[in-house]
Amino acid sequence: MRIVLATSDLAIGGAERNVVTYACALRRRGHDVVVAAGDGPLAEELRACGVARLRARPHLRHPWTIASTGAALRALHARERVEVVHAFMASASAAASLGRFGLRRPYAVIAAPPGLAQSRNEPTWVSWLRLRVLSAGADMILAPSHDLRAHLLSTGVKAHKIRDVDFNAVDLPRFDVSAAARVGLGVRPGERVVCSVARLHQIKGQDQLIRAAARIREHVPQVRILLVGDGPQRAQLERLAGREGVADVVTFLGARSDVPAILRAVDVVVQTTFGTGGPGLAVLEAFAAERPVVGFAFGDLRDAVAGSGTALLVEHGDFAGLALAIAGLLLDPDRARAMGRNGRALVEQRYDMQRVVDQLEEVYREVAAREYGR
C-alpha cells in the first residue's frame, strides 16, 4: 500500500517515536511509506531505513501551516495516488482532511489521538475541541484506551468509527543492548539511579519528581535522578531543583538518542505524566528494558498494568507516597528486578511492535476497502 504517516515534527517524543517505528516497520514489510513532518532528531532514523519525508509542519495555532500541509498531501496524492493517511496529531488530521476535500478519488484518513489534555490545567472544553478537530474528517479513529474511547464517544464520534488498537508499540530489539556507562551519565560510584524520560513540559509532571527528591534522599542518601528530555520547562525545573535543595541530586541529560541504553543503566523509572491515552510509550520502553516503574495512577496506566506486577502507582500530588515507592524499590533490588521481568513479559504479550503493526495493516486495508472500494 501507499501510506503517509503525518505528525507535526520529528522531535524526540512518544508520538514521534511511534511514527518512526511504524514507518520503518511498514517499509520493511514492502509498503511504500512517506512521513509528513517537520525536522527533528528522529529524521536521521527515517533516512537510515529508507523512508521518504514530505516536509510539512502543521500546527493548530497556525492555521496556514495546516492549509499548506493539506496542499502538500493533495499534491503528493496527485503524483503517487496515496491510499491512506494516518495522522498522529489533531493538526495533522485536520490537514489530511483538508487536503482530500473535493477529490474524485480521495485517500482514507485514520486519526490517532495521542491523549486528551496538553497541559495540566487545560479546560475540558479545549480537550473536547481538540478531539473534535482530530476526528471530524477521519474515516476511523484509533483508541488505545477505554478512557479515550469514552471521550471520543462524548464528542459525538460514532462507535463504528472507533477501533481499539494499542498503538503505543515497542520495537523490542532496540532494547536488547548493553547498558550505558553510568559515569558517562554523571552517576557517581555507589549511587542508586532513578530516571524519567519525557519532554520537559508541564503535562509531563517532572516537577512532582523533583519535589519528591529530598524525601527520596532521606531514605536513600546516595541517589541520582536523571531527567532525559528537553522542552520549554527546562529552565523552570532547574530553578525548582535549586529551591528544593536537590540540584546536586538531579541531572538534566537533555534530549538523547540512546534511551534504550540509558534505561538499561538505571534502577527505577518514574512516570509522572498527567496525560492519558494508553499507558504511555515511556512506561512501555521502561518495561522493554526490564525496569520497574513508579507512577501516578491515572486511569489508562492503572488499567494497563493491573495485576501485572510491573509498576507501583500512587495518587496525583502524593509526594510522600511517590518518594516511598521509589525508595522502597531502590532498597529492594530483587523486587525491582522481578517487576522489570514482568514488564518485559507484558510488552512481549501486548505491545510488541510486530503485533501492533499487524493490527495497523488490517485497519489500513479495511478502511481503504470500505471507504473507497479498493
Please write the tens of the pLDDT for every residue from 57-87. Answer: 998 788 899 999 999 999 999 999 999 999 9
Please check the confidence at residue 373 and state whether its pLDDT lies above 70.
no
pLDDT for the residue numbered 372: 57
Q: Is the dihedral of CA 236, 237, 243, 248 positive or negative?
A: negative
pLDDT at 374 over 60: no
Of 41, 197, 19, 34, nearest to 114 by C-alpha is 19
Q: Which of 317, 319, 324, 282 is nearest to 301 (CA)?
A: 282
Order across the sheet with 293-296: list the strands: 250-254, 223-228, 192-197, 268-271, 293-296, 311-314
Question: Which residues share a beta bridge with 35?
Answer: 5, 53
User: Does residue 118 have a pLDDT over 60?
Assistant: no
- Could you say which architecture CATH assigns to the domain 172-351? 3-Layer(aba) Sandwich (3.40)
Domain ranges for the chain: 2-169+352-369, 172-351
Alpha-carbon gap, residue 231 to 329, rounded angstroms:
29
| pLDDT tens, residue by residue, 295-311 | 988 777 777 787 788 99
Listed in sequence order, the residues at least 6 apart from 83 whose beta carbon sits closer than 8 Å to its beta carbon are 1, 2, 3, 107, 108, 364, 368, 374
196 pairs with which residues across the strands?
A: 227
* Mean model confidence pLDDT for the chain: 89
**Residue bearing the bigger pLDDT, 321 or 144:** 321
The domain made up of 2-169+352-369 has a fold known as Rossmann fold (3.40.50)
pLDDT at residue 93 is higher than 80: yes
pLDDT band at 146 (very low <50, low <70, confident <90, very high): confident
Domains 2-169+352-369 and 172-351 share a fold: yes
